[in-house]
Amino acid sequence: MIKKVAILANGGDCSGFNAVIRAIKKTCETNGIECYGYIDGYRGLVNNNYIRLDGSEKASGILTKGGSIIGSSTNAIVFHYKVEHEDGTVTYEDLSDQCVKNVKEAGFDCVFTLGGDSTQKSARDLFLKGINTIGVPKTIDNDVACTDITFGYNTAVHVATEAIDRLHTTAETHDRIMVLEVMGRFAGWIALESAISGGADVALIPEIPYDINKAAEAINKRKENGKRFSVVVVSEGAHPINAEQTTHAAEGIDSKAGISVKFGGEGNRVAKELKELTGLDSRCTILGYMQRGGTPTAYDRVLSTKYGAKAMELAMEGKFGVLTVIKNGKLDYVSLEDVVGENKEIGAVQGGTAESNVRYVTMDDDLVKTARDIGICLGD
């Protein structure tokens, strides 16, 4: 019988965090279980900083709220944790034993880890060290292994679709190529799905290294048919056949301690080259954090609620070291061991990188086939 649980929200924020927290908290209240929340994700676990959520005013009325009421931290890897000393020096330390001690002393029977692949890698590693973890898959990129969908993704696609609709107006009025850069470091789900829902003409994703000449050909063909404008969606992680992804060093982050590069800029490269190749004027818009903030869509509210309630159900059944998932449309769970794939070593690569177990767009996915069927150029 579990009596006391804690929630931890980790990684970049996205719509649905609070809806999951609410669902866990409400299921706790239904079952007379105490519910707590660690402040700022894994940082709260290290610092033993948590608050009570059941019965609390702070955790009420949060279904529609963006962000996370208990905060979240990026690049807080407990196995390689950045410690800043009084003399100004910085060391990276394995603080996982401290986390295990904190959880045991607090008496938490389960810690729910809401986050992406990096968060779930740490959850799996901490499970092997004796903490009862249950993961809930989050990320706008939709790239967590073993699940059809992560919470936050649908809202991001919705925001991107609205942006494409608005860019269409300018494209058509001024005979321009309007490029929209969306998030998606290694997986192009947002770009692909929003290109379909927004009626874009070209979609460039990381899984298909592109030939800019192919994209230009598609736009020139439209021009010949009297359409002197085009809308192009580019994943931030897309790249040409013979070039690397566009990244910038993230200041002060050790590569083992988190994501040491930032993405962004690929859309500008595409816009510039398409202008040269088509003679049409072009502009790039980088959608950025708009995709992560604000109220979740109805779909994400329901998905988050299902995930939260399922996570609590699993905890009450004593099933730990698992991740809630949607498989073929059904709510289910898988072992965190499957989620980390070959990334087995405790404390090694924590995810969020090309080496971690990312769920890519596959060439036989319905979205790829549909895009090709209706003539969206994928740059190949």
Residues engaged in binding ligand F6P (CB under 6 A):
12, 74, 116, 139-141, 183-185, 236, 263, 292
Q: Would residue 175 show up in a list of annotated catalytic residues for this protein?
A: no
CB of 337 to ligand F6P, least distance (A): 22
CB of 354 to ligand F6P, least distance (A): 13
CB of 158 to ligand F6P, least distance (A): 15
Instruction: Work out the burial of residue 126: count CB atoms within 10 Å of its CB; fewer than 13 is exposed, 13-18 middle, 19 or more buried.
Output: buried
CB of 299 to ligand F6P, least distance (A): 18
Q: Alpha-carbon distance 108 to 5, whole Å? A: 5
Question: Across the chain, how many H-helices and E-strands are there?
Answer: 11, 15
b/e string for 263-288 if b means 16 or more Cβ within 10 A?
bebbbbbbbebbbebbebebbbbbbe
The smaller minimum CB distance to ligand F6P, of residues 135 and 321, is found at: 135
CB of 334 to ligand F6P, least distance (A): 20
The smaller minimum CB distance to ligand F6P, of residues 68 and 230, is found at: 68
The smaller minimum CB distance to ligand F6P, of residues 96 and 356, is found at: 356
The smaller minimum CB distance to ligand F6P, of residues 292 and 359, is found at: 292
Q: Alpha-carbon distance 206 to 211, whole Å? A: 12
Query: Contact, 37 vs 59, CB < 8 A?
Result: yes
Tracing tokens 């279980």 back to the chain, one arrives at: 33
The smaller minimum CB distance to ligand F6P, of residues 128 and 261, is found at: 261
Q: Under DSSP, is residue 4 helix (H, G, I), strand (E, B) or coil? A: strand
What distances in angstroms separate CA 365 from CA 184, 220, 328, 372, one per listed residue? 17, 28, 13, 11
Query: Contact, 225 vs 239, CB < 8 A?
Result: no
* Catalytic residue selected from 13, 117, 141, 201: 141
The set of catalytic residues is 141
